[in-house]
Structure 1
Amino acid sequence: MDSYQFRYLVTLLHLIPVVSSTCTLLLAIIQYSSLQILTRSEIRDLNERIISCYFTAFFDSIVLRVVGNLLTTMVSVACIFRLSDMSLGEQKSCHWYLAGACLAMAHLLVYPIIAPHVEALRKDCRDKNIDALQDWLRIHWLRSVVIDLPAWVCCVVGAINSLVK
């Protein structure tokens, strides 16, 4: 592999955390907007009956995508560190990438806080499903704003510092 091809691959590598953190953030937005519809008061009776089934199916279908994106962010940042030449631009970007990878890991570490809410929604609490979903949505929104959005910003800034010279 010649020098040009290697630089091209390294450039692409720097974009992977941006893409994976963007996907994580988009999935968080999709989760919130899709599940928030179920809390509407005008269809409350119907929603109380379907929330548990819908949430379980929705959560199960999206959880592997979210975990995959988070792991992709962390692994690609590790690869960037491995291939970095540690020039001044690379040093600046590495701090941003490290913060993005740590925030991606934090998303996974928050699961013990969210787990009881997920289990409550899976159990079908009958008349408490909407309240349980609203609780989960509040925590999900907070995690998205405090962890996922800053992770995305860090990865974007890291890529900009690395690629714009």
Structure 2
Amino acid sequence: MASGQFFDPLVALRVAPLVSSTCTLLFAWDQHFFLSLFNDTSELRKKSAPMLKPYFNTFFSRGVFFVLGFIAVSTSTGISNLYSQPAALKSQGTYWWYAAGAALSAGHLLYVPAVAPHVKALAEAEDDDDVNGILDEWLKANWLRMVTVDLGAWLAFGVGALSTLRV
């Protein structure tokens, strides 16, 4: 089995960052889609306001570990690819795609200063605070992060994996 006939560890390594960055991108999209439903209409905004703080606190405290896990896997397997037969990746023109994917995956964390104030504001919101407005700001930051670093990492790893494996 170590022969690679049934399982090739190098193929798994080449594909791993694509799989984990897909998870990151889908999680970001799901966050945007499902949380934006609370603010879809003025009637929904009014009805959702009382439950947004407890919902978001539970949602965020559970989800942050998944997101950080996916980012860690994407970044670490992207970097591992750079050290596993780098000459082969360079000859196939995919070395820099894996490097870009790893950098963009780690770049997700560069958005923490833009997102953290909104997370804190939602977590500490008082009854008279506009929680829907705070959520709107979080959704904007989440969208920007998703379409820049999350989508960018996914595209880079996709090009890298598909070009390397010649699928």
Q: Provide structure 1 residue ranges, at least 5 long, that are not aligned to the other structure.
A: none
In structure 2, the partner of 1:104 is 105
In structure 2, the partner of 1:36 is 36
Q: Given the two structures, how large is their TM-score scaled by the length of structure 1?
A: 0.91
Q: 2: CA distance between counterparts of 1:54 and 1:128?
A: 15
Q: 1:22-101 maps to which residues of 2 (within 5 A)?
A: 22-40=22-40, 41-87=42-88, 92-101=93-102
1:133 corresponds to which of 123, 132, 135: 135
**Residue by residue, what CA displacement relative to the aligned partner does 1:72-115 show, whole Å, maximum 9, x if unpaired?**
01111122122215136555211001101101111012101111
Q: 2: CA distance between counterparts of 1:141 and 1:125?
A: 25
Q: Given the two structures, how large is their TM-score scaled by the length of structure 2?
A: 0.90
SS at match of 1:124: coil
Q: Provide structure 2 residue ranges, at least 5 long, that are not aligned to the other structure.
A: none
Q: 2: CA distance between counterparts of 1:19 and 1:88?
A: 19
In structure 2, the partner of 1:8 is 8
> Does the 8 A contact of 1:89 with 1:161 survive in 2?
no
| 1:16, distance to aligned residue in structure 2 (A) | 0.2
Distance 1:48 1:85, change over 3 A: closer
| 1:63, distance to aligned residue in structure 2 (A) | 0.7
| 1:42, distance to aligned residue in structure 2 (A) | 1.5
Q: 1: CA distance between counterparts of 2:78 and 2:144?
A: 24
Q: 2: CA distance between counterparts of 1:80 and 1:9?
A: 11
Aligned residues: 165
